[in-house]
Structure 1
């Protein structure tokens, strides 16, 4: 697991640097490879920072994230930043919805990790698996809602189209304008629910399974 996470760190960072090395000269020569290339370069550069965030936080605060969460996080950064944004994979149908499912499951797992960190170990052994699963589900789905708040806010402030309320520069109306946002929320709920249901049965069978989602000093 640790070797795979390190490999993903390298893939995200080196892949982003290779992207910048190829796309930046083209942009400076006036021959951008992708539309909106300057903005894409900025986001890919930010992706390097995000990819390195877990090990930096671990060194600063002297703890370790659960390896499974680091693995999912690095996969998410790869799919959303380098591939999704930088290489325009978001144009692939349902790529965005797949990432919402994936990230919601990751956030539900983070919710479990936080629950475990806030609960004394002796009490954790007798805690209802249903309570743990409900906390994980609620945490994952709620962060998904806050993300839609973020998209709505910056679409209005910066004239962006993250919520896909425009198509080819034309404002959508009625149900069509809601399809992207509601699809994202459905994906957030289903992703959180899937991880939470799986966690419920695993914890019910053996509470030691939670060790995979616990922070370590």
Structure 2
């Protein structure tokens, strides 16, 4: 339990863990604010966001998932940008292209999460199955983009939200944005890996 609330690793203060705790505190505060003001949208959205963030933390902490603390931070940052700023603070309505930026950003994170999952499942170094790991990362990221749209559709339906603007075009553009960033990330990673190996 002490590990769950830690702000340091090996005695070193970590900005990833500081961000996490501040984010959790922010979500709890907005949840309480929503209840006090009888705003069901705010307290339900805050609770849902908190649950998703805690699930991500539990996956990173208590599974054999081989991922870095940086990747964990980027994952929590995605939740902050999309679910907190985008939905609870309603940035989506202020900046029309915020949604596209978030989906583009998600493709980058999901590609590297795919690589981490591949490493965990194969229990081997990425270099041993380099091409297969790249393909896995790409397909995983694109698949998750589709699942995220299913999640948005479901929450829109159940909570009477409008994440998808009631538009198939919006849904497809979101998936395309995530797919493009996935491909870009894979190309950059391939060149980086070759450069690192040659060096």
TM-score range for the pair, normalised by the shorter chain length: 0.7 to 0.9
Matched, 1:179 2:169: yes
Matched, 1:138 2:139: yes
TM-score by length of 1: 0.72
Aligned position for 1:15:
26
- The RMSD of aligned alpha carbons is 2.7
Residues 9, 52 of structure 1: 8 Å contact kept: no
Aligned position for 1:24:
35
**Alpha-carbon offset, residue 20 of structure 1:** 2.8
Q: Aligned with 2:37: secondary structure?
A: helix
Matched, 1:117 2:120: yes
Residues 64 and 118 (structure 1 numbering): CA distance in 2 closer, same or farther, change over 3 Å?
Answer: closer
Q: Which has the larger radius of gyration?
A: 1
Aligned position for 1:106:
109
5+ residue gaps, structure 2, are 1-7
User: Distance between the aligned counterparts of 1:112 and 1:71, measured in 2?
Assistant: 16
Of residues 92, 97, 100, the one that matches 1:97 is 100
Residues 12, 51 of structure 1: 8 Å contact kept: no
How many residue pairs align between the two structures?
Answer: 185
Q: Which has the higher contact order (CA 8 A, sep 6+)?
A: 1
**Alpha-carbon offset, residue 154 of structure 1:** 5.8
Residues 65, 116 of structure 2: 8 Å contact kept: no
Residues 51, 77 of structure 1: 8 Å contact kept: yes
Residues 12, 82 of structure 1: 8 Å contact kept: no
User: Distance between the aligned counterparts of 2:64 and 2:117, measured in 1?
Assistant: 16
- Measured against aligned partners, the alpha-carbon deviations of 1:51-108 in whole angstroms (never above 9, x if no partner) come to 2334433443366632121011111111122211111112121111111111121111
